[in-house]
Chain A
Amino acid sequence: MSARSFRALASRIPPFASALAAGAALAVLAAHQQGAAAVESAYFARWALAVLVPLALAVPRPGHEIGAAAIASNLAAWVLPAGPQRGAAFGALLVAAVVTGTVRLLARRDAGGLRLPLVPLAVAFQALFAAPRLLVPAPALLWTDLLPALAAGFALALLGRVAGRSALAGGALVAVALGGFGPVAAGLLLVAAGVAGWRGERPDPRFVLGFAAAGSAGLLLLPRGEQPVFAALAALVLLAPFALWPAGGRSARAWWLGGWGLALAAATTGHGVAALAPALLFLSLALAPTPERDRLATLWSGWLLAGAALAAGFPWLAPQPAGQLLAWLGGTATSPSRQLVAAVLLALAAAALLPLLARRWPRAAAPRHLALLPALLLAGCGLFRPETPLLGTAPVVLTATGPLWGAPLAAPPGEIVVELALAGSAQLASGTAIGRIRLDCEDGAAVERALRTGIEVADWAARRPDLAARLGPPPATAWISWLGPDPTFFAQRYRLLWSPPPCEGGAPPVAVRIELEPDLPPELTLAIHRVGVRR
């Protein structure tokens, strides 16, 4: 081995050691805890190793982010009490470490050094998306996560060599759309990379268009999905970097129109964000790279990939992370709001104008200024629409003997937020009305929202293997998970956002109540974990 290779290998030891030490320290913590805390700490140990070890192989020297993530994640795990708050902090720190490492990797000017690290980097990202499957690791993880991530990483490395940064951004957006670097994403990327590798140059747009059209046509042949079209329009935010008006003549504009046509057609299939993957891949490979598009694509894909990874990880465990992320950003529990759709369409229009603005105001219209925009928008929405809790820290449990909870309202609510979980509801059919949220008006009238199993709320043990097999996946209102003493499944709470209509006659609402239906099985209970109002 040459001295240079030895030094390169030796430089990996410190971050590698930090990653291993992180997992070891968490394992020690787990061994000295009891019950749910021990289960959760052991899970964190597996998760940390799965993320930080490949990340240690990917990041450029010296790898301080690995050490920082190892220390910070252990700080959260050792100091915070067990529960979703510990999981949220832990997951956020792992995502931050991966994003920081990715940014440092991409900032390297040496394009040759960029290729191989993409392989472990893809594995690190996939470990974030595979968080639910790490609770009970099975050999199937090899086929569902590890090998596809390795393959996707190789494919990205090859695509990056021939097609530049825009291809990498496209690959990242494909991962966002498909919920990680799983088998489907790896397959798409491998085919694209295979074509590029065979030709040794940027693939012919005609070939890619044909491949993407075939992929989209396949979607059209499938039975129509459940996602409403207007909600799917919100998913077009993934294509924002490709909204930039293309430069380069008639053929470039033709490919651009073709790609957008594919995207819009895919959106009508009702299969949500995942259906956009072929169109994303096409646009990233077919359009000639420009500095503005590359920078915007890098920033946009970074935001969305980090957000999706956060949504997919513990304690959120969103099954369709990108779709769920859009719903949350839109302020709803299940699907994007009309306001978000409008905001997305505005953002796309603004992106299309960016090249023209950049010519006139090159510094102001710099893509890097867009990097902070999502954070600032989120901050603005959060600051000016805070949530006021109506319930204390201890949950209230409604039972057959005590089926009612209520609280007065100081002002008409813009939105009511409730976090609930049923227990003992496994025998009820999906769609059974088990209760209601009721807003009492000053004149005695009321407005109500029904609570139905499998739609607004479900059992806390819905992810237990036997229940999941019988009832299917949790409803889209699934919000936060935690780990109980049983190490085989995540417990689940559900969050419902309700914008109540005004009271008839204009009377102000004076109280909110949650009540169980009568004649329910006696063992059924409804735990109310949180009730809040937003202006």
Chain B
Amino acid sequence: MRARLVRWGTAAAASIAFGIALDKADPLRGTLLFLPWIVAGLREIDALPGVRRVGGQLASGLEALALGLLVAFAAVRSWLALPFATAAVVGGLTLWLLLAALRRGIGLRPLLGARLPARPPAVFFLLPLTVYLGLQPWVTAARLPDGDEPYYLLVAHSLAYDLDDDLANNYAAGDSLAFLDRRLEPQPGDPVGSGGELYSRHNLLLPLLLAPAYRLAGAAGAQTVMALLAAALAWVTLRLARHYFRAHPGPVLVAWLAGALLSPLLLYAPQVWVEVPAALLSAIALDHLLELKYDRLWNRRRWLGIGLPLLLLPLLKIRLLLLAVPLLALAWWHAGRPRKPLIILGIALGLLSAAMLGYNTFTYGNPLKIHTLGELRLYETPARTYLLGGAGLFFDTAFGLFGATPVWLLLLPATALLVARRHPLLFDLLVFSSPYLLIVASRREWYGGWSPPFRYALVILPLLTLMLVPLLEQRRRLGARWLLGGLFAATVALLLLWTVVPGWTYNFADGRTLLLDQLGARTGSDIARLTPSMLRPRPATWIVPLLLLAGVPALWHWPRRRSGAVAGGAALALAALAALPLLAARLPTRTIELEDAWVAKSGGHLHPDRWMFDRTRYRGGWVLREGEEATAYPVAGGRELTVTVELEWVRNTDSPLTLTLRAGERPLATWEPTTPRHWERIELGPFPWQPGEPLVFAVSGPAGEPTNGLILDRARLAWR
């Protein structure tokens, strides 16, 4: 007890000292105020009976020393006056917190015993919560709420202060300035009441949950509730594991640490999205319905544990009905196909759905709010769309799971192993997720819109986490350890970037990522074309996933018996990094997307505007007006070049317009458009070509105020 008092008393004193010393405008103020409490929380975990001290006193000493140095560095950064010093402190503290949490997580192994308990100890909730709360002050301040988040918060504000969901007064009063740096405007499709009320198109369940905390502590309170839900999801995932891998607590723990402490859950924990509570409700329902396998007993707890999530899911978001129905089917299946629960729950779900559709029709004039029934005609969607959308959820560089968190590539050999063993987990995953993911994959916005990666598929994260368990039982092979080390190193490196610059997790749907653009700018090469994008298909879109599908399982299973060190994985990760600019500088350029950052422009603008709603409906390009030009340095693939340009003529006056293609100052071809507002594909060439020459697209016209222009989408290069 005395040690606990000392621990928390020291935390309070340190927090007060930071509060006095730090300026209110200091970007690290929130982080440093919270830090002593986080440290005390971790020390509490150390003091739990039965917990193992991984690394012993040496690791504890190094950890304390590293923390002391980071705090000292944070204190003297104004003296050093180096740019990015704050970012370096944040990166250091993130790494420290992650490693400290992983060390403690591994030390919790004795608490799981020889067989997974039915009710994991509360520390498996507290540990991820500590990490989420530790990062929350910085992440939420460095990137203000975006996407749908501010609208959920505004509704929570209205519920908390006005006790209604009419947002008209909140928009007018600028209440969004409490958590944003701008006044919110209504979203497209927001319903308008008969008396001039303005409502949100989002359901009220999540804002209702957040309203009390919002009333107490504003947006920070609401975000803390989201962190609590994320930590609860982590705990339920561990509880769920006992149904599949009860006798394998070691590998379950390792998989659980990856799911709970790494992205995507770590990214979504402080953010306001429905996907985390949806995943939580689904996991709770799954956990209860899988208990039916053992005793087929429908007691009150089971009714509540299955029925309540099923009914709450569509209330959270209507599309989550596509999760509720499969969960009902699974409950029926695992309970031995009884009729009564199926009928009762089916009727309840049906009545709720009918009520919701009726309410939407009455309030919005559309039973599906802003969606159409046409979106449900899955049979009209081509197979290629499903393939791109489905694969994109995992392989897309900007929005897929693997691009944001490489360690999840382990799902590839894990899936093969589960298929080989015909594991029941696969059946449950397929039944639960297929209807929902099919709808998601068929949508133009399968990537989640304006959000961090893997948004729509986050609901299946608990089952994906458990898929890793059988694979991790084999983690002592040489290839496995090098792969684990390399993927873990790459994941942690990316996670540091996502934490320090949270804005880099929000990518534009243009086939690139902000991180790749930075790397491309550093190395002067178009690295992004080497990565798969399902939004802008290119050769890498197909080659890279096939290589990964073959290569990752092969490396995992090689060689059979020898063990190795995880430390070698860093060499693998660095080799992959170094390969990017080497390949980008050597592989011939086949396509130039004129809007990309690596193409230098003397003027013009993006088309359509970057913030155009549902931008992927349009052909993205760059507008060049009279007197402006764009220059790219393609990697030559031969001595002769033919250029096919896709463009549209924007004619505002009758003045003629000419597109001139040049190799540096050497003119290659000219072309004059004849048909305005019509996308054309023109072939120019072949021209002789010297390696290293710049390819210039120049637009010219009569002197004077430029009023006509060309929208250039892309140029395809054919070499011979």
Q: Which residues of A contact B (CB under 8 A)?
A: 11, 13-15, 17-18, 20-22, 24-25, 28-29, 31-34, 37, 61-64, 66-68, 70-72, 74-75, 78-80, 83-85, 88-89, 100, 103-104, 107, 368, 371-372, 374-376, 378-384, 386-389, 393, 417, 419, 530, 532
Contacts and interface: CB of A to CB of B under 8 A. Distances in A.
25 contacts: A20-B571, A21-B574, A21-B578, A32-B525, A33-B523, A61-B565, A62-B566, A66-B570, A67-B569, A68-B570, A74-B577, A75-B493, A78-B522, A84-B82, A89-B88, A103-B58, A104-B58, A372-B68, A374-B72, A375-B69, A378-B72, A379-B72, A379-B75, A383-B22, A388-B78
Nearest to B572: A21
B576 to A, nearest CB: 9
Interface string B61-103: 1101100110110111111111111001000000100000000
Interface in B504-541: 518-519, 522-525
A376 B83 CA distance: 23
Given A61-B565, A103-B58, A375 B570 contact: no
Contacts of B71: 375-376, 379
Given A67-B485, A74-B577, 18 more contacts: A13-B568, A15-B565, A18-B570, A21-B578, A25-B578, A32-B524, A64-B567, A70-B570, A75-B497, A85-B82, A85-B83, A371-B65, A375-B71, A378-B76, A379-B74, A384-B21, A389-B78, A389-B81
Given A29-B522, A382-B75, A66 B581 contact: no
B578 A24 contact: yes
Nearest to A31: B581
Nearest to B70: A375
Contacts of B79: 382, 387, 417
Contacts of B567: 14-15, 18, 62-64, 66-67
B565 A32 contact: no
B564 interface: yes
A33 B581 CA distance: 10
Give the top 6 A-B pairs by smallest Cβ distance, nearest first. A382-B75, A14-B568, A67-B570, A375-B68, A382-B76, A383-B21
A379 B581 contact: no
Contacts of B68: 372, 375-376, 379
Given A28-B581, A379-B71, A383-B21, A80 B84 contact: yes
Contacts of A104: 58
B571 A37 contact: no
Contacts of B69: 375
B402 to A, nearest CB: 18
Nearest to A56: B567
A62 B565 contact: yes
B376 to A, nearest CB: 44
Contact of A79 (B58, B75, B497, B581): B497
Given A28-B581, A85-B82, A33 B72 contact: no
B75 A380 contact: yes
Interface string B561-600: 0001111111101110110011001000000000000000
B502 to A, nearest CB: 15
Contact of A375 (B62, B72, B565): B72
B600 to A, nearest CB: 14
Interface of B: 17-18, 21-23, 58, 61-62, 64-65, 68-69, 71-72, 74-85, 88, 95, 482, 485, 489-490, 492-493, 496-497, 518-519, 522-525, 564-571, 573-575, 577-578, 581-582, 585
A532 B81 CA distance: 9
Contact of B523 (A32, A70, A374): A32
A387 B524 CA distance: 37
Contacts of B582: 28
Given A104-B58, A386-B23, A33 B496 contact: no
A32 B585 CA distance: 8
Contacts of A33: 522-524
Contacts of A14: 482, 485, 564-569, 571
Nearest to B492: A71
A75 B81 CA distance: 21
A45 to B, nearest CB: 11
Given A372-B68, A382-B72, A17 B85 contact: no
B577 A25 contact: yes
Given A83-B83, A530-B81, A25 B574 contact: yes
A307 to B, nearest CB: 11
Contact of A18 (B95, B492, B568): B568
B75 to A, nearest CB: 3
- Kindly name the residue among A14, A20, A31, A374 whose own CB sees the greatest number of chain B CB atoms within 10 A: A14
Contacts of B61: 103, 368, 371
B528 to A, nearest CB: 15
A70 B486 CA distance: 12
Contact of B575 (A15, A21, A375): A21
B17 A383 contact: yes
Contacts of B74: 379, 382
B565 A63 contact: yes
A71 B489 contact: yes
B51 to A, nearest CB: 22
A532 B566 contact: no
Contacts of A15: 565, 567-568
Contact of A22 (B18, B518, B525, B574): B574
B565 A383 contact: no
A148 B581 CA distance: 38
Contacts of B21: 383-384, 386
A381 B581 CA distance: 44
Nearest to B21: A383
Nearest to A107: B58
Contacts of A78: 519, 522, 577
A29 B23 contact: no
A32 B81 contact: no
A240 B75 CA distance: 26
A70 B574 contact: yes
- Kindly name the residue among B566, B571, B578, B581 whose own CB sees the greatest number of chain A CB atoms within 10 A: B571
Given A78-B577, A387-B78, A64 B519 contact: no
Contact of A28 (B62, B64, B81, B578): B578
B522 to A, nearest CB: 6
Contacts of A393: 83
- Kindly name the residue among A21, A24, A389 whose own CB sees the greatest number of chain B CB atoms within 10 A: A21
Nearest to A74: B574
A13 B562 CA distance: 14
A267 to B, nearest CB: 28
B83 A18 contact: no
A17 B523 contact: no
B7 to A, nearest CB: 16
B356 to A, nearest CB: 47
Nearest to A15: B567
A67 B81 contact: no
A530 B82 CA distance: 10
B482 to A, nearest CB: 8
A385 to B, nearest CB: 9
Contacts of A388: 78
A532 B570 contact: no
Contacts of A80: 84
A372 B65 contact: yes
Contacts of A387: 78-79, 81
Contacts of A107: 58
Contacts of B17: 383
A24 B576 CA distance: 11
A67 B75 contact: no
Nearest to B58: A107
A79 B524 contact: no
A107 B61 CA distance: 11
Nearest to A64: B567
A384 B76 CA distance: 10
Contacts of B578: 21, 24-25, 28-29
A80 B578 CA distance: 16
A67 B81 CA distance: 29
